[in-house]
Structure 1
């Protein structure tokens, strides 16, 4: 039997794939972001009342499919590994489950059976001549689930790039194939305002030529990126590749020449961007997509000298604890890879970890630098890991500093309207 014969034998409709491969009680693993397979998840939504106790686990769902429904959670329930716009309200209301995690450790949770993985639903590139598909949009934890699952179902789309790296699945590993030729979902760059631009300038000034970058998603990280086009010989070792990084490649700022770990290669675990980015990824030997336990492992990422990690938070207290994923008790996102890369940059020779945030919220009425985090806030980056903190008012370097020194540094970059009050509260807490 030829590879093409095997492909044709496994090719079914999305409705049949769901009906034949999913069983009551199964956990379905779905990749990050745009790696989610829309045809399969739509078919699951349409059949959801035929199942009982099925769960769908995913970081950052992009679309609110009909199965994300409080009325049918006894049939199919979403399990968030990170909240986004499609799942945040359900998480805050309690009918979407949440599993706390470090992004880098999700594969081990799957391998150890702590997060079940009976079925995988994933987008995939067309099959190559040797029978391999590329899970280029989300290698993340999905590759670990492929190795563990009873059933792997791929939604093959000609618009999905065939990327290099450890992101390939052979047709012999697949239980069912579904075809779809719709364009891959595109995600544009966030809006950048004057506050984000000011923060970006402070960070960019501290990034040297030859640094290797990890860049999180958001307006401030992208504001940094836009000010790095004049740098030279930057490298990329990140979790997400997006259009901001593509801009640096096209400007000539990224060459990966001076990387001491995996030189000549940009490394990422998932993609989130435009069709232009997806075309760039296709069979590009200078870019490799790898599982997240490779890209985000602090010990491995930290092998890059001069690793710069840029991530955002929503609130930070005077000791340096970052609340990046909840508004008090209400979940908002998740830990993701922030802690992974802060720790990696701290391990790196010459590394720098930046936590960035506007100094205020709600029209300058609330300080994001606070004496203590709001009750219930989920701590994403600990006081022991924090290094640089940047607002539009400057840079605080906290690593190696005492509690009192940290308080002074952070008050100095708070909004001027809150500095006196913060100093008084710090004195009451015996920090000053």
Structure 2
């Protein structure tokens, strides 16, 4: 998880804004119906002329969805049905929270064009125009009223805000504010093939400004499609957040070791493990489609591993009985640490999901511990900021597992977006048998 840029740079293909608004509103409508943003964007990549713009519009709307919904309810005598509802909510987030991005009158004009293109939309143009222009007349008062609600002000469900405040009382606002900003495009330099300085110089000569972060990362000043990043196709770098880059260093796999990468897709950490050491690596994921992404990453990097489609917790499906010296368990989790990259997560998650996911993590820890060799190391990782998926999970495991101990202290990284800590939220613990 987390091994992808926060925002897709816009495609070079031209498309009228009103068409992009329709596709982005469809993505927002999908999230409100319980589908992921990635599902909507997959359709947009096929249908839209500018999928990069669609991504940016939809991501912005989801960061400010509560505000858009509030403004729509405040400004319309009756709430319209879908897809008009999501379209107007999206446009209102742009008018309220990104007024510098578009000329407001041009945006309203394009929004009305989008409405006209919807099924039955011709008869709704007047309604849409009235709602949007009514907001512009009352913008200051309308936004002031909306911001009295913390959900509108901070862009997260109330339960999410309450949990963050309770678990991170000193840093909760920084975390929430970081969630509402696009994460940077961070790449991991393949130190097997080049140096960070050499790649940064190559990028600079091509007009790409970057700065170092962590042990082997570079942050681009401006995101762009990976096809436009010199060295990417050659395997000199991979998109991966700096927090996720720490996994391979903590694992510390050595040449010749038998190593397991469990729940591995899309394979950012897999590639990093192999860049650092020639080891006997077994790669697991339960989703064959996502495992194909791991294979593609390894081909691009010129690396190889044994890939298996299997549920890591069901040992009979895949384990041959030979123990591992190293295990990376990048466990399924709430993804509460990567909300800046996946803004739909905050609206798709429910409080009950945390306990359910913690149960899955507990089972994976119990099962994979049996495959670890004495003296071996298991790195437990989640892209989460919740203690149930982090420190509390590890403390409970240590209490019930004789012979298990910690190497060092667990590490809880928070998404704070400062120069030195511009990374996602992650939890790491190194367990030794």
Tell me the TM-score normalised to structure 2 length: 0.32
Indicate the structure whose relative CO is greater, using CA pairs within 8 Å and at least 6 residues apart. 2
| Structure number with higher strand proportion | 1
Which has the greater radius of gyration? 2
Q: Structure 1 length as normaliser, TM-score?
A: 0.32
